[in-house]
A and B are shown apart, each in its own frame.
Chain A
Amino acid sequence: MDEFLFTLSFSIVPLITVNLFALVAPPLGATLSLRNEILLGIALPPVGSAVIAGAIFFGVSPDAIVLLYLLAAISIFLVMIVLPLNVGKKRISLRRRELILAALFCIGNTLVMVLMSISPRVEAHFRNLLQGELLAVTGIELTATAILTIILIVFGFLFRGVIYGYSLDEEGLRITEKSYTTITLSFRAVATLVITGGIILIGPLLTTSLLIVPAFLTERSCRGLDRFMVVVMGVGFFGSLLGFLLAVVTDLPPAPVSVCVIIAVGYISQLLFGRQ
């Protein structure tokens, strides 16, 4: 027990960071799944990771976290803006859109591996982070994450009707709401913020898993959108908390262990609530 607490004391900052992300990433993933855009949750982390690996390869210092964050955020935001939608005059089919995102996933991961393997500048911290291991998170990063998390949760709660309307029937919203463009850009900006922060602070594996796994495992056992959002937050939060603690106990990498526990918690919630 003493050894556990001693080890935990060194991991408390990453633990809190993971759990803060686990409060915002799952509802974002749930929203993406409602919009048939869950493949963004798979394709965008590798895009951001590839930009980070590329920036370091081309000379950006691995310590220049703010610059790396900005570069990753701009690339992710551009992909979301440029990617053709399923609504409007230039709409493409969902199938075609999914193919594009699947291709981005492949290209992003390939670039990450190639750039990491040939670049002596991608030092241990980033190498392990991009491979899915959680390492150091500073106090400043934790503070910024905490503030942004609180802001996102408060605004997400206050404007949840807008999120639901935008998710259920984007074309209808486009017809009836003159603030449609503002809503679209705001959603894309929030998604960029969460995904980019996740890649840099908790790694692409845990970011992608928090976006996808809670929504995937709980949507059939939820009735009602408010309940769906609360359940995905609960699964994400408790799954990542227990997973991280289990990783400390077993001395295994925290990201994959957390993913396994999130899956387990998701299945348990399915059993508890049943299929609706």
Chain B
Amino acid sequence: MNTYRLIISSPDGNAFDGQASFLSLRGANGDLAIMAGHIPFITSVLSCDCKVIFEDDTEKTGHTDGGLLTVDSDKVTLLSGSFKWNE
């Protein structure tokens, strides 16, 4: 599966910076998912659980208190005031 660089950034450091193939979360207009090749995009993110599928096909969920999602041609950045991976 095609991958892209995903950065999950918070004031306490990056919770993740690496390759991923899928990210789903709750945007301002509802649930959305980002896959490789997505057009440049910006939306505000609501407090929700996010699902990430990594390049080795493993998946993990984490909780964000809300923030901002920016999709560039080469990377996807989730800026969140607080982000914690679920156990």
A and B part of one assembly: no
- Chain A residues near B (Cβ < 8 Å): none
